Amino acid sequence: MNRTRPPFRADQVGSLLRSAPLKEAREKRAAGQIEAAALKEVEDAEIRKIIARQEATGLKGITDGEFRRAYWHFDFLEQLDGVTSVDADSGMNFKGGVGIAKALRITGKVGFSGHPMIDHFRFLKENVSAGSTPKMTIPGPSMLHYRGGRKMINMGLYPEMDAFYADVGAAYGKAVHAFYDAGCRYLQLDDISFAYLCDPEQREMLRSRGDDPERQPDIYAGMVRKALENKPDDLAITMHLCRGNFRSTFIASGGYEPVAEVLFNAMPVDGYFMEWDTDRAGGFEPLRFLPKGKHVVLGLVTSKTGVLEAKDDVKRRIDEATKYVDLDQLCLSPQCGFASTQEGNTLAEDEQWAKLAMIVEIAQEVWGAQAAQSVAKAS
Protein backbone atom coordinates (compact mmCIF):
# COMPACT_ATOMS: atom_id res chain seq x y z
CA MET A 1 0.00 0.00 0.00
CA ASN A 2 2.74 2.43 0.95
CA ARG A 3 4.16 3.24 -2.48
CA THR A 4 6.63 6.10 -2.20
CA ARG A 5 6.87 6.68 -5.95
CA PRO A 6 3.87 7.67 -8.09
CA PRO A 7 1.45 6.48 -9.19
CA PHE A 8 -0.03 5.78 -5.76
CA ARG A 9 -2.39 2.94 -4.86
CA ALA A 10 -5.19 5.50 -4.36
CA ASP A 11 -4.70 8.27 -6.90
CA GLN A 12 -6.63 10.80 -8.97
CA VAL A 13 -6.49 12.17 -12.49
CA GLY A 14 -6.25 15.83 -11.52
CA SER A 15 -9.16 18.21 -12.08
CA LEU A 16 -11.74 18.91 -9.39
CA LEU A 17 -15.12 20.63 -9.44
CA ARG A 18 -14.65 24.39 -9.25
CA SER A 19 -15.85 25.85 -5.96
CA ALA A 20 -18.65 28.44 -5.76
CA PRO A 21 -16.33 31.32 -4.75
CA LEU A 22 -14.03 30.54 -7.67
CA LYS A 23 -16.88 30.39 -10.17
CA GLU A 24 -18.21 33.71 -8.91
CA ALA A 25 -14.81 35.35 -9.16
CA ARG A 26 -14.30 34.07 -12.71
CA GLU A 27 -17.68 35.43 -13.75
CA LYS A 28 -16.84 38.83 -12.26
CA ARG A 29 -13.47 38.86 -14.01
CA ALA A 30 -15.09 37.96 -17.35
CA ALA A 31 -17.53 40.84 -16.85
CA GLY A 32 -14.71 43.25 -16.04
CA GLN A 33 -15.92 43.74 -12.46
CA ILE A 34 -12.63 42.70 -10.81
CA GLU A 35 -8.97 42.84 -11.79
CA ALA A 36 -6.72 39.84 -12.49
CA ALA A 37 -5.03 40.29 -9.10
CA ALA A 38 -8.37 39.94 -7.30
CA LEU A 39 -9.13 36.74 -9.20
CA LYS A 40 -5.72 35.34 -8.26
CA GLU A 41 -6.42 36.01 -4.58
CA VAL A 42 -9.57 33.91 -4.80
CA GLU A 43 -7.76 31.18 -6.76
CA ASP A 44 -5.00 31.05 -4.14
CA ALA A 45 -7.48 30.78 -1.27
CA GLU A 46 -9.62 28.12 -2.96
CA ILE A 47 -6.60 26.05 -4.00
CA ARG A 48 -5.32 26.05 -0.42
CA LYS A 49 -8.73 24.70 0.65
CA ILE A 50 -8.78 21.86 -1.85
CA ILE A 51 -5.19 20.93 -1.06
CA ALA A 52 -6.22 20.50 2.58
CA ARG A 53 -9.34 18.57 1.56
CA GLN A 54 -7.36 16.15 -0.63
CA GLU A 55 -4.87 15.51 2.17
CA ALA A 56 -7.68 14.97 4.70
CA THR A 57 -9.25 12.47 2.28
CA GLY A 58 -6.04 10.42 2.35
CA LEU A 59 -4.67 11.12 -1.12
CA LYS A 60 -0.88 11.30 -1.51
CA GLY A 61 -0.72 12.84 -4.99
CA ILE A 62 -2.11 16.36 -4.60
CA THR A 63 -3.17 18.68 -7.45
CA ASP A 64 -4.42 22.25 -7.61
CA GLY A 65 -7.65 20.89 -9.11
CA GLU A 66 -6.74 22.79 -12.31
CA PHE A 67 -8.50 25.72 -10.60
CA ARG A 68 -6.55 28.31 -12.60
CA ARG A 69 -7.66 26.83 -15.93
CA ALA A 70 -10.77 27.07 -18.05
CA TYR A 71 -9.82 23.99 -20.10
CA TRP A 72 -7.57 21.03 -19.37
CA HIS A 73 -5.62 21.45 -22.62
CA PHE A 74 -6.08 24.88 -24.23
CA ASP A 75 -4.67 26.78 -21.25
CA PHE A 76 -1.34 24.96 -21.59
CA LEU A 77 -1.08 24.59 -25.36
CA GLU A 78 -1.92 28.20 -26.27
CA GLN A 79 1.03 29.41 -24.19
CA LEU A 80 3.60 27.45 -26.21
CA ASP A 81 5.70 29.47 -28.66
CA GLY A 82 4.16 29.51 -32.11
CA VAL A 83 0.64 28.55 -30.95
CA THR A 84 -2.35 30.87 -31.17
CA SER A 85 -5.91 30.24 -29.97
CA VAL A 86 -8.85 31.36 -32.14
CA ASP A 87 -12.64 31.26 -32.05
CA ALA A 88 -14.00 28.28 -33.97
CA ASP A 89 -17.26 27.70 -35.83
CA SER A 90 -18.09 24.84 -33.47
CA GLY A 91 -16.61 22.77 -30.68
CA MET A 92 -15.93 19.05 -30.54
CA ASN A 93 -19.03 16.88 -30.99
CA PHE A 94 -19.57 15.02 -27.73
CA LYS A 95 -22.23 12.31 -27.38
CA GLY A 96 -24.86 14.54 -25.83
CA GLY A 97 -23.41 18.01 -26.36
CA VAL A 98 -20.96 20.26 -28.17
CA GLY A 99 -17.70 21.41 -26.61
CA ILE A 100 -16.22 24.88 -26.45
CA ALA A 101 -15.99 26.68 -29.82
CA LYS A 102 -12.27 27.26 -29.67
CA ALA A 103 -9.33 26.03 -31.74
CA LEU A 104 -5.57 26.34 -32.03
CA ARG A 105 -3.45 27.52 -34.95
CA ILE A 106 0.27 27.08 -35.54
CA THR A 107 1.48 30.54 -36.56
CA GLY A 108 5.18 30.16 -35.76
CA LYS A 109 7.78 27.53 -35.01
CA VAL A 110 6.62 25.56 -31.96
CA GLY A 111 8.83 25.96 -28.90
CA PHE A 112 8.94 26.48 -25.15
CA SER A 113 10.45 29.59 -23.58
CA GLY A 114 8.58 29.68 -20.30
CA HIS A 115 5.02 29.12 -19.12
CA PRO A 116 2.69 30.53 -16.41
CA MET A 117 1.92 27.00 -15.21
CA ILE A 118 5.45 26.74 -13.85
CA ASP A 119 4.44 29.31 -11.24
CA HIS A 120 1.14 27.51 -10.75
CA PHE A 121 3.10 24.42 -9.80
CA ARG A 122 5.38 26.38 -7.45
CA PHE A 123 2.32 27.63 -5.55
CA LEU A 124 1.02 24.06 -5.24
CA LYS A 125 4.37 22.78 -4.00
CA GLU A 126 4.64 25.56 -1.41
CA ASN A 127 1.24 24.70 0.04
CA VAL A 128 1.19 20.90 0.31
CA SER A 129 2.07 19.26 3.61
CA ALA A 130 5.18 17.22 4.27
CA GLY A 131 4.51 13.68 3.12
CA SER A 132 2.29 14.77 0.21
CA THR A 133 3.48 14.79 -3.39
CA PRO A 134 2.45 17.78 -5.55
CA LYS A 135 1.27 16.55 -8.93
CA MET A 136 1.18 18.59 -12.14
CA THR A 137 -1.04 17.70 -15.08
CA ILE A 138 -0.54 18.96 -18.66
CA PRO A 139 -1.94 17.81 -22.02
CA GLY A 140 0.30 15.35 -23.82
CA PRO A 141 2.24 16.39 -26.95
CA SER A 142 -0.09 14.61 -29.36
CA MET A 143 -2.97 16.89 -28.38
CA LEU A 144 -1.49 19.84 -30.27
CA HIS A 145 -1.92 17.83 -33.48
CA TYR A 146 -4.90 15.57 -32.79
CA ARG A 147 -7.54 18.25 -32.32
CA GLY A 148 -6.76 20.07 -35.58
CA GLY A 149 -4.47 18.09 -37.84
CA ARG A 150 -2.74 19.66 -40.83
CA LYS A 151 -5.41 22.32 -41.31
CA MET A 152 -4.29 24.10 -38.14
CA ILE A 153 -0.69 24.39 -39.31
CA ASN A 154 0.79 27.08 -41.53
CA MET A 155 2.41 24.73 -44.00
CA GLY A 156 4.88 27.42 -45.01
CA LEU A 157 6.34 26.90 -41.54
CA TYR A 158 6.12 23.13 -41.67
CA PRO A 159 6.00 21.77 -45.23
CA GLU A 160 6.96 18.39 -43.75
CA MET A 161 5.02 17.08 -40.76
CA ASP A 162 8.05 15.27 -39.33
CA ALA A 163 9.61 18.65 -38.53
CA PHE A 164 6.44 19.73 -36.72
CA TYR A 165 6.34 16.54 -34.64
CA ALA A 166 10.02 16.96 -33.77
CA ASP A 167 9.57 20.56 -32.65
CA VAL A 168 6.59 19.68 -30.46
CA GLY A 169 8.52 16.85 -28.83
CA ALA A 170 11.50 19.14 -28.21
CA ALA A 171 9.26 21.88 -26.75
CA TYR A 172 7.76 19.36 -24.37
CA GLY A 173 11.24 18.22 -23.39
CA LYS A 174 12.01 21.78 -22.28
CA ALA A 175 8.69 21.95 -20.43
CA VAL A 176 9.42 18.71 -18.58
CA HIS A 177 12.74 20.08 -17.37
CA ALA A 178 11.21 23.44 -16.43
CA PHE A 179 8.70 21.71 -14.17
CA TYR A 180 11.46 19.52 -12.76
CA ASP A 181 13.62 22.56 -12.00
CA ALA A 182 10.64 24.05 -10.16
CA GLY A 183 10.57 20.97 -7.92
CA CYS A 184 8.06 18.76 -9.74
CA ARG A 185 8.61 15.04 -9.25
CA TYR A 186 5.17 13.85 -10.40
CA LEU A 187 4.12 14.97 -13.89
CA GLN A 188 1.14 13.63 -15.81
CA LEU A 189 0.65 13.84 -19.57
CA ASP A 190 -3.03 13.81 -20.52
CA ASP A 191 -2.57 12.17 -23.89
CA ILE A 192 -6.10 11.05 -24.61
CA SER A 193 -5.53 10.62 -28.35
CA PHE A 194 -4.33 7.06 -27.71
CA ALA A 195 -7.80 6.12 -26.46
CA TYR A 196 -9.50 7.98 -29.32
CA LEU A 197 -7.42 5.96 -31.78
CA CYS A 198 -9.32 2.88 -30.59
CA ASP A 199 -12.63 4.23 -31.93
CA PRO A 200 -13.58 3.37 -35.55
CA GLU A 201 -15.35 6.74 -35.98
CA GLN A 202 -12.31 8.67 -34.80
CA ARG A 203 -10.02 6.62 -37.03
CA GLU A 204 -12.22 7.46 -40.01
CA MET A 205 -12.15 11.14 -39.04
CA LEU A 206 -8.34 11.06 -39.10
CA ARG A 207 -8.32 9.27 -42.43
CA SER A 208 -10.73 11.78 -43.99
CA ARG A 209 -8.52 14.73 -43.02
CA GLY A 210 -5.37 13.16 -44.44
CA ASP A 211 -3.82 11.40 -41.42
CA ASP A 212 -3.10 7.68 -41.25
CA PRO A 213 -4.70 6.13 -38.14
CA GLU A 214 -2.38 3.13 -38.48
CA ARG A 215 0.72 5.35 -38.19
CA GLN A 216 -0.46 7.92 -35.67
CA PRO A 217 0.15 5.79 -32.54
CA ASP A 218 3.83 5.36 -33.48
CA ILE A 219 4.13 9.04 -34.44
CA TYR A 220 2.63 10.18 -31.15
CA ALA A 221 4.76 7.73 -29.18
CA GLY A 222 7.81 9.21 -30.90
CA MET A 223 6.81 12.67 -29.69
CA VAL A 224 6.59 11.38 -26.12
CA ARG A 225 9.97 9.66 -26.41
CA LYS A 226 11.49 12.93 -27.66
CA ALA A 227 9.95 14.83 -24.76
CA LEU A 228 11.29 12.35 -22.21
CA GLU A 229 14.62 11.38 -23.74
CA ASN A 230 16.57 13.14 -20.97
CA LYS A 231 14.03 12.65 -18.19
CA PRO A 232 15.60 12.73 -14.70
CA ASP A 233 15.44 9.36 -12.95
CA ASP A 234 13.58 10.73 -9.93
CA LEU A 235 10.79 12.30 -12.01
CA ALA A 236 7.74 10.03 -12.19
CA ILE A 237 5.79 10.41 -15.45
CA THR A 238 2.28 9.07 -15.89
CA MET A 239 -0.06 9.23 -18.85
CA HIS A 240 -3.82 9.64 -18.67
CA LEU A 241 -6.15 8.23 -21.33
CA CYS A 242 -9.89 8.78 -21.59
CA ARG A 243 -12.59 9.00 -24.24
CA GLY A 244 -13.77 12.56 -23.68
CA ASN A 245 -15.06 14.38 -20.61
CA PHE A 246 -17.20 17.51 -20.94
CA ARG A 247 -20.23 18.08 -18.70
CA SER A 248 -20.42 14.30 -18.17
CA THR A 249 -20.51 13.52 -21.90
CA PHE A 250 -17.98 11.59 -23.99
CA ILE A 251 -16.71 11.28 -27.55
CA ALA A 252 -15.04 7.92 -28.22
CA SER A 253 -15.61 4.22 -27.60
CA GLY A 254 -13.55 1.10 -28.10
CA GLY A 255 -11.17 -1.17 -26.19
CA TYR A 256 -7.43 -0.47 -25.93
CA GLU A 257 -6.33 -3.43 -28.07
CA PRO A 258 -5.34 -1.36 -31.17
CA VAL A 259 -2.82 0.73 -29.21
CA ALA A 260 -1.89 -1.47 -26.24
CA GLU A 261 1.50 -2.69 -27.41
CA VAL A 262 2.71 0.76 -28.46
CA LEU A 263 1.16 2.37 -25.40
CA PHE A 264 2.85 0.13 -22.87
CA ASN A 265 6.17 -0.59 -24.58
CA ALA A 266 7.11 2.33 -26.84
CA MET A 267 7.13 5.18 -24.31
CA PRO A 268 9.33 5.69 -21.21
CA VAL A 269 6.51 6.48 -18.78
CA ASP A 270 6.03 4.95 -15.33
CA GLY A 271 2.28 4.51 -15.23
CA TYR A 272 -1.00 4.88 -17.08
CA PHE A 273 -4.34 6.23 -15.86
CA MET A 274 -6.84 4.27 -17.93
CA GLU A 275 -10.61 4.55 -18.21
CA TRP A 276 -12.59 1.41 -17.41
CA ASP A 277 -15.79 2.70 -15.83
CA THR A 278 -18.10 1.52 -18.64
CA ASP A 279 -18.27 -1.17 -21.31
CA ARG A 280 -17.17 1.47 -23.85
CA ALA A 281 -13.58 0.86 -22.73
CA GLY A 282 -13.63 -2.86 -23.47
CA GLY A 283 -12.08 -5.53 -21.26
CA PHE A 284 -8.82 -5.84 -19.35
CA GLU A 285 -7.14 -8.15 -21.90
CA PRO A 286 -4.80 -5.40 -23.22
CA LEU A 287 -3.10 -5.38 -19.81
CA ARG A 288 -1.23 -8.50 -20.90
CA PHE A 289 1.12 -6.17 -22.81
CA LEU A 290 2.14 -4.25 -19.66
CA PRO A 291 5.83 -4.90 -18.92
CA LYS A 292 7.25 -5.46 -15.46
CA GLY A 293 8.16 -2.25 -13.68
CA LYS A 294 5.23 -0.23 -15.02
CA HIS A 295 1.87 0.42 -13.36
CA VAL A 296 -1.70 0.93 -14.52
CA VAL A 297 -4.13 3.00 -12.48
CA LEU A 298 -7.53 1.41 -13.02
CA GLY A 299 -10.18 4.09 -13.61
CA LEU A 300 -13.06 2.05 -12.25
CA VAL A 301 -14.90 4.84 -10.42
CA THR A 302 -16.75 7.19 -12.74
CA SER A 303 -16.39 10.94 -12.45
CA LYS A 304 -19.40 11.52 -14.70
CA THR A 305 -22.17 10.86 -12.17
CA GLY A 306 -22.59 11.22 -8.43
CA VAL A 307 -23.83 7.66 -7.91
CA LEU A 308 -21.37 5.96 -5.57
CA GLU A 309 -20.16 2.59 -6.78
CA ALA A 310 -20.44 -0.47 -4.54
CA LYS A 311 -17.06 -1.23 -3.04
CA ASP A 312 -17.42 -4.98 -3.64
CA ASP A 313 -18.12 -4.35 -7.34
CA VAL A 314 -14.94 -2.29 -7.66
CA LYS A 315 -12.94 -4.98 -5.85
CA ARG A 316 -14.32 -7.64 -8.18
CA ARG A 317 -13.17 -5.63 -11.19
CA ILE A 318 -9.70 -5.23 -9.71
CA ASP A 319 -9.65 -9.00 -9.29
CA GLU A 320 -10.67 -9.42 -12.96
CA ALA A 321 -7.75 -7.25 -14.02
CA THR A 322 -5.31 -9.50 -12.12
CA LYS A 323 -6.03 -12.26 -14.63
CA TYR A 324 -3.77 -10.32 -17.01
CA VAL A 325 -1.33 -8.44 -14.74
CA ASP A 326 0.01 -8.77 -11.22
CA LEU A 327 -1.90 -6.93 -8.48
CA ASP A 328 1.30 -5.17 -7.48
CA GLN A 329 1.30 -3.36 -10.84
CA LEU A 330 -2.18 -1.93 -10.32
CA CYS A 331 -3.59 1.14 -8.57
CA LEU A 332 -7.05 2.75 -8.41
CA SER A 333 -8.53 6.14 -9.37
CA PRO A 334 -11.55 7.80 -10.98
CA GLN A 335 -11.70 7.23 -14.73
CA CYS A 336 -11.10 10.93 -15.45
CA GLY A 337 -11.03 14.30 -13.75
CA PHE A 338 -14.22 15.76 -12.30
CA ALA A 339 -13.94 19.01 -14.26
CA SER A 340 -11.90 18.78 -17.44
CA THR A 341 -13.35 22.21 -18.19
CA GLN A 342 -14.45 24.87 -15.74
CA GLU A 343 -18.10 23.88 -16.23
CA GLY A 344 -17.48 20.54 -14.49
CA ASN A 345 -19.36 17.27 -14.62
CA THR A 346 -22.94 16.83 -13.40
CA LEU A 347 -22.37 15.83 -9.80
CA ALA A 348 -22.10 17.65 -6.50
CA GLU A 349 -18.87 18.45 -4.67
CA ASP A 350 -19.85 16.17 -1.78
CA GLU A 351 -20.35 13.33 -4.25
CA GLN A 352 -16.91 14.00 -5.73
CA TRP A 353 -15.24 13.79 -2.32
CA ALA A 354 -17.21 10.66 -1.40
CA LYS A 355 -15.83 8.92 -4.49
CA LEU A 356 -12.26 9.92 -3.71
CA ALA A 357 -12.65 8.80 -0.08
CA MET A 358 -14.01 5.45 -1.25
CA ILE A 359 -11.03 4.98 -3.57
CA VAL A 360 -8.68 5.52 -0.62
CA GLU A 361 -10.64 2.99 1.47
CA ILE A 362 -10.66 0.36 -1.27
CA ALA A 363 -6.95 0.79 -1.91
CA GLN A 364 -6.19 0.32 1.77
CA GLU A 365 -8.34 -2.81 1.91
CA VAL A 366 -6.97 -4.36 -1.29
CA TRP A 367 -3.27 -3.46 -1.21
CA GLY A 368 -3.07 -3.21 2.56
CA ALA A 369 -4.27 -6.81 2.75
CA GLN A 370 -1.73 -7.78 0.09
CA ALA A 371 1.08 -6.21 2.13
CA ALA A 372 -0.09 -7.99 5.28
CA GLN A 373 -0.08 -11.34 3.45
CA SER A 374 3.45 -10.71 2.17
CA VAL A 375 4.66 -9.97 5.70
CA ALA A 376 2.98 -13.11 7.00
CA LYS A 377 4.60 -15.26 4.33
CA ALA A 378 8.01 -13.74 5.01
CA SER A 379 7.75 -14.53 8.71
Read off the pLDDT of residues 28-58 as tens digits, 9 standing for 90 and up.
999 999 999 999 999 999 999 999 999 999 9
pLDDT band at 376 (very low <50, low <70, confident <90, very high): very low
Mean pLDDT of 306-318: 97
pLDDT of 377 above 80: no
- Choose among 43, 66, 47, 67: nearest CA to 55: 47
Give Cα 96 to chain centroid, integer Å: 22
80 Cβ contact list (under 8 Å, min separation 6): 110, 111, 112, 115, 144, 171
> Is the model's pLDDT at 62 over the cut of 80?
yes
The H-or-E segment that residue 124 falls in is helix 116-127
pLDDT at 315: 98
Contact predicate 306/274, CB 8 Å: no
Average pLDDT over residues 296-302: 97
Mean pLDDT (the chain, rounded): 92
Distance between start and end Cα atoms, the chain: 19
- Nearest-10 crossing angle of helices 36-57, 20-30: 160
Query: For residue 131, is it left (φ>0), alpha (ψ between -120 and 50) or beta?
Result: left
Is residue 124 predicted with pLDDT exceeding 50?
yes
Q: What is the CATH number of domain 20-378?
A: 3.20.20.210
Length of the chain: 379
Q: What is the pLDDT of residues 136-170, one digit of tens each?
A: 999 999 999 988 888 889 889 999 999 999 999 99
Please report the pLDDT score of residue 190 as a whole number: 94
Boundaries of every domain in the chain: 20-378
Q: What is the pLDDT of residue 247?
A: 65
